[in-house]
A and B are shown apart, each in its own frame.
Chain A
């Protein structure tokens, strides 16, 4: 029990350090004194402006997006009882991408705030569609149904997005950066608009964690223990859409955080969701902060989208997971 608390404190400290590192390191070198001045006695100097208008928002966004994605992944894996599930299974990312692509063509806009609202709406529509498809028929919202419905909708939206982009070459050019998932150039204002949804999602996730343990025991058992399984599942889906939708709205579709982090959390503290969810939140924040710092230094004098960094490290992890599952069986 105790070591879990200690671990949590260590992780929080880690996130704190990563936040500071994210503010301190970038393409432009900034002195420590500028950082302190920017935060304590701001006087409008260029270096301090960098800290306040670029680095600080970016660090906060990375932490919030990483945490949200990881918690959404946690819930998704519990709900589908499948360790290879992520928020992507709900079609959230591709729903958001499709909405953004359509809106950018219709409105002829590349404004990030327009993209955010489109992404949110797209994520919600995708989530609702998967929910509807998964609840049709006798046993509703069973893990298999959810995964099948999710995978189908996900692929459908992905192919629609690709189709539209191929027909419209110009938008392919402008959309590439968004579709890769990136934390560059995000506006603090935008973040402030989206963050309430994420916070509500996080709070609800903590509330749900106890019930997730019960759901993990299986449908019949959970029902036998007096749980309103259907209600909890619906709530779960809403929370996933809030968290993953909020994340995709700010940063675009960032892959693998939602898949990988719950496994790291499970490895650290076991499969009690009351611990897994806070651990996942912190680990997700930490991982995306580190990935984003990495994104600034992988190529000299050029930034690559953070989503590419997470995918790069996430893919081998996914292979490892699939392998390991195969062996235990």
Chain B
């Protein structure tokens, strides 16, 4: 009797400790997140208190963005950007934003190809910018894009004047111009575009003298393979540069999903790929269908950096892509 009672209470303790364990795990998860948020905010506040006093309310200029005319400070000095395209462009124009998002998860480092990002405050991720963190920075200009941030447009407007481009990617030239205009550097923006045009014309001329190499560009993912078509960021640069795509990829549109059965569509004289999921390419590479592709057998497979081929979306990324095309296609 006594023994059975003991067993019974032992079991009860077992149940209770199980529940306690679960609660512990749950609360641990919660704490981890909130701590992260807390450490960021005060740091931001401390930094911003000093320069805030020195900013003079100077005259305003009018810029035309995706929503219409918007009044911005003549020389904005505390800019928060909401996407990597704007971060990339502004850095190239010689302006360091005070706040910028990570590509995927809040707090991730900025893309490695971008130099001079030290000291920029993290404001969340591109898809989920943290409005409180932005507000704490007291910006005088916010640069975003309508595609991603339409839902928080009015809230952002209460923090600071906003300049929104329509979308990211294929419109990168217009974006650069608008970004340059927003920070009162239209001339510099135009110069950057002219330099790109000159470079790409030269590239095109050099390429014309060589055997045609058809390029394949795709992104292996966990469950599928995503072919990047002409209406992508990298696709527009390749079109500008006169690079020929593989026939099945020489079509309008953003991307097309294929399965492992359709691997022939990945073949090309030069096969470029990038991915964000670390094991997706390793899996692809193991398939006998992959190794049977002529381009793979002649070792023309080149991994490229997703940070600028896919997610950079600014002028520096553009130039890096052109660098890569140079090394892959010109002798």
Contact = CB atoms under 8 A, between A and B. Distances in A.
Interface in B288-317: 288-289, 292
A185 interface: yes
Given A27-B259, A184-B259, A169 B292 contact: no
A173 B260 CA distance: 20
B64 interface: no
A160 interface: yes
A319 interface: no
A55 B222 CA distance: 18
Interface in A131-177: 132-133, 136-137, 156, 160, 163-164, 167-170, 174, 176-177
A169 B287 CA distance: 29
Contacts of A136: 11-12, 14-15
B222 A178 contact: yes
Interface string B11-22: 110110010001
B3 interface: no
Contact of A132 (B14, B25, B260, B278): B14
A110 B105 CA distance: 17
Interface string B142-157: 0000000000000000
Nearest to A296: B259
A54 interface: yes
Contacts of A164: 29
A111 interface: yes
Interface in B22-71: 22, 25-26, 29, 33
A44 to B, nearest CB: 7
Contacts of B221: 174
B105 A170 contact: yes
Nearest to A46: B292
Contact of B222 (A133, A137, A174): A174
Contacts of A109: 278-279
Interface of A: 26-28, 44, 46, 49-50, 52-55, 108-112, 129, 132-133, 136-137, 156, 160, 163-164, 167-170, 174, 176-178, 182, 184-185, 187, 301-303, 305
17 contacts: A27-B262, A28-B262, A46-B289, A50-B261, A54-B260, A54-B261, A55-B261, A112-B283, A136-B12, A156-B22, A163-B26, A163-B29, A164-B29, A169-B104, A170-B104, A170-B105, A177-B224
Given A54-B260, A112-B283, A163-B26, 7 more contacts: A54-B289, A136-B11, A160-B26, A169-B127, A170-B104, A178-B222, A185-B259
